Structure 1
Amino acid sequence: MKSILAVVMFVGLSSTALAGGADDPLLYKVMIDKLELGNTSGPNTLVLDADAWVGYDLNKFWFKTDVERVDGNTEEAEVQFLYSRAIAPFWDFQAGWRHDIKPKPTRDYLALGFKGLSPYQFDVDAGLFVGESGQVNARLDVEYEYMLTQKLILSPELEVNLYSRNDAEMGIGSGLSDVELGLRLRYEIRREFAPYIGVNWTRKFGQTADFARADGEDTSDVQFVAGIRVWF
């Protein structure tokens, strides 16, 4: 896994170094897509979904992170380090490393994926993650932005996870594992700063749901959320 990551990073560094120049300046962006509190009849949650990139027009390096805390305890935490190459207008191919910090035990994956803007303006992030144990996780994130006004934006979101095999230690079953649907309404005080409110629904399926029931957890949940979206 580490040797594959080293090759990916070496290729990325070489390509990025060649791409530099006066007509192709070094750029960066940091995006906190979600920093939100969720409330239901159960425990309160705090979610951080953020990423950052640095690079040139065709070649970039990405950092992604996704963290969820429940009643002050970190339940899920994931980071990704990726080399990203533009392969078509509005589309990038990405490759690198994903590390799951929580829940324990930790897991490492080779990450491959495509990120871009599909027809009809859907923002798509599709990933395939191959673990050292042979576990394969396919993930699809889709988001759409509907402008009610120049500042008021309604954003439906979908995330789907599928796994190739059971992992009882992680509470993951093979096949369709979980689906998350969200609807958020944000107001852009400035384009770089927007508070929002919304509702989020999650559902576990198959063996993943069976693992959750065995641990006394719910297999579905609806949360009302409030947060901020910031980028610079």
Structure 2
Amino acid sequence: MRSINLFAMSTLSASLLVLSGQSFAHEGHHAMSMSEQQTQPAEDIPMDHSQHQKMSAAPQVVEEKQMQPVQLAHSNSDGFDQDHKLDYQFDHKVDHAAHLKEHGGQIYQQTILESKWLRNDDGRGVLKSELETRIGTDENKIFIKVHTDKAESAQAEYDAKLLYSRNVADFWDVQAGLRYRNDPNREIDQDQVDAVLGLHGMAPYFFETDAYVYIGQDRQVSFNLETERDLLLTQKWIVKPYLDINMVLSDDSNYAKKTGLNSAQVGLEIRYEINKKVMPFMDLAYGYNKGVQETARQKSSSSENAWFYGAGLRFKF
């Protein structure tokens, strides 16, 4: 009986061991299968790298496009390719044109019209009128100057100048052109044409200066100097001293003048500027006129000195 009980207990123990071993083996196999499923893609499962290659290629294309101008810029020995050269030259021309426009490259125009009536000590009067217009840039300009004198009991004399002006230094232009003169009080040689060469600009101490040499027929050579300066008393009242000198270097014409200082006038103008376009003024001056030499067409005359006074009106636009 005892042996039967031992056999039954042994059989029961063996059965429990067998059942527990199968359960442990199944759990171990299941655990191993889970770990293998987690590690298998890195070792056994093949992957499709096409999408990865596309994603990695996109930044490379962008980077190559970004670097392309730099590579092209260094493709030539001079540092720029042809397209970049054209763009640079165009931008440079545009910047240069804008710079010129802002610093004197623009075309401008100015016209001054002036008329004044002067009388001398003897009560004889003369009406003097001037027109000056200029157009161009700071470097190249065209000047047109017209001057008329109408003395009492005489016909009006006038001259007109057409000048090309070229800037050669700070505040100075060289001018060249022609002057046409008309004197209807003469019997012959009423019309004269002279070549003109001179300087126009600003002398030291702000004196506006015009200096011209005239060369005409019959060995007529003369020199003219005009200089003036504005002195501001107020913003409206302005005083302008001026000097006008004419010299004859040679003259073999029918109405020849004596060589040397032919005429000189020094004066003082006081003007009131209503605005920058309308300016009435008063004028006081002392003048000298040298006589003429005797020719077949005229008698000799002596020199004259006289005071002149009067008033005028100037327009600027």
TM-score when normalising by structure 2? 0.60
Alignment match, 1:39: 119
Structure with more contact order per residue of length (Cα contacts < 8 Å, sep ≥ 6): 1
Within-5 A mapping of 1:69-108: 69-71=150-152, 73-102=154-183, 104=186, 105=189, 106-108=191-193
User: Which position in structure 1 is the counterpart of 2:259?
Assistant: 174
Return the structure number with greater helix share: 2
Q: 1:131 Cα deviation (Å)?
A: 0.9
Q: CA deviation at 1:31?
A: 1.0
CA displacement at 1:62 relative to structure 2: 0.6
Higher strand share: 1
- Paired residue total: 209
Q: Which of 113, 118, 122 in structure 1 is aligned with 2:203? A: 118
The unaligned stretches of length 5 or more in structure 1 are 1-20
Write out aligned runs for 1:16-35 (5 A).
Answer: 23=101, 24-32=105-113, 34-35=114-115
Give SS of 1:163's match.
Answer: strand
Residues 6-59 of structure 1 deviation map (CA, whole Å, 9 limit, x = unaligned) = xxxxxxxxxxxxxxx662332211012x31011233322110122101112211
Query: Using the alignment, how far apart are the partners of 1:150 and 1:183 within structure 2?
Result: 18
Bigger Rg, structure 1 or 2: 2
Q: Write out per-residue CA displacement over residues 176-204 of structure 1, whole angstroms, 9 at most, x where no aligned residue.
A: 11111121100011022110012122212
- In the alignment, the residues of structure 2 paired with residue 144 and residue 209 of structure 1 have an alpha-carbon distance, to the nearest angstrom, of 35
How far apart, in 1, do the equivalents of 2:271 and 2:294 lie? 36
RMSD: 2.4
**Helix, strand or coil at the partner of 2:144:** strand
- Where structure 2 has 5 or more consecutive residues not aligned to the other structure, the ranges are 1-96
- Corresponding residue number in structure 1 for 2:269: 184
Pair 1:227–1:217, CA change in 2 (3 A): farther
Distance 1:153 1:167 in 2: 43
Contact 2:211 2:225 in 1 (8 A): yes
Identity of aligned residues (%): 27
Q: How has the CA–CA distance of structure 1 residues 167 and 37 changed in structure 2, closer, same or farther, with 3 Å as cutoff?
A: farther
Deviations 1:97-137 (A, max 9, x none): 01111254222111001011111001100001111322111
Deviation at 1:175, TM superposition (A): 1.3
Classify 1:143/1:210 alpha carbon distance in 2 versus 1 (closer, same or farther; 3 Å). farther
